[in-house]
Amino acid sequence: MIAPVEKKDAWAYIGGLPLTRATLTDPAPMLHLKSTSSQRWLDQVHENIVEILIDHAHCEKKAAGTAMNFIFYYVEDEDLCREMSEIVNEELEHFHMVLDILRQRGEKFRRLKPSSYGSRLHQLIRKQEPERAVDRLLVAGLIEARSCERFGLLGEKLEDKELAQFFGSLFESEARHHATYVQLAKNYANEETVMQRLEELAIQEAEIIALGDEFPRVHS
């Protein structure tokens, strides 16, 4: 649990929880994550920053696609459609930002084999509605959470100050996306059921991310 903070000490409120410097040091509880990222992953990043940036561009593009798919699939949930259209816009903005960074560094955006993280997480989604909606939204929320946790870490640890600043600047919006997905899952099940399922999926997410990946990726 995060200790209560004075309103003046918080920069922003994400899903009712304050975002502060303390949150940045260990954002996992606010993000419902069951682990923090390993030194193994940080080492992969340090040795392969260009490949990480290219994969990051793919991740932002995929995040926009995921939000767009929700609009197509849950047409009658106006609440969801409005929130998702905001997320589509923000993720595409992030996608452009990464493309700009690649261009400034003389690197080209190109196809990359994705990490197995996303497909492993999607295998956990139950097939029947409304459980399927709950799981799809919570899996999307956990992917946002893990990205957010890792961007926060890169904001702190990268020696390249320009990149550190860039990753740090994404922390707030990805944390907000996480909170939005969790909130929307409550349109498909009661709060207790959603939070219990989130707990189960978060445990499995921590096991999946711990598996790593031979290629350096945002979620390797």
- Point out which residues bind Fe ion (CB under 5 A): 60, 63, 91, 94, 144, 174, 177
Return d(Cα 85, Cα 107) in angstroms, integer: 30
83 versus 135: smaller Cβ distance to Fe ion: 83
Ordered DSSP codes for 58-85? HHHHHHHHHHHHHHHH-TT-HHHHHHHH
91 vs 205, which CB is nearer to Fe ion? 91
Smallest gap, in angstroms, from Cβ of residue 8 to Fe ion? 28
What are the two backbone dihedrals, phi and then psi, of residue 185, each rounded to the nearest 5 degrees? -60, -25
Please compute Rg for the chain using Cα positions: 17
CB of 190 to Fe ion, least distance (A): 26
Shortest Å distance, C-beta 144 to Fe ion: 5
Taking the least distance from each CB to Fe ion, the nearer of 60 and 135 is 60
Q: Which residues contact 25 (CB under 8 A, 6 or more apart)?
A: none
Q: Which is nearer to Fe ion, 11 or 40 (CB)?
A: 11
Sign of CA dihedral 103, 105, 106, 107: negative
Q: How far is the CB of 56 from Fe ion (least distance, A)?
A: 9
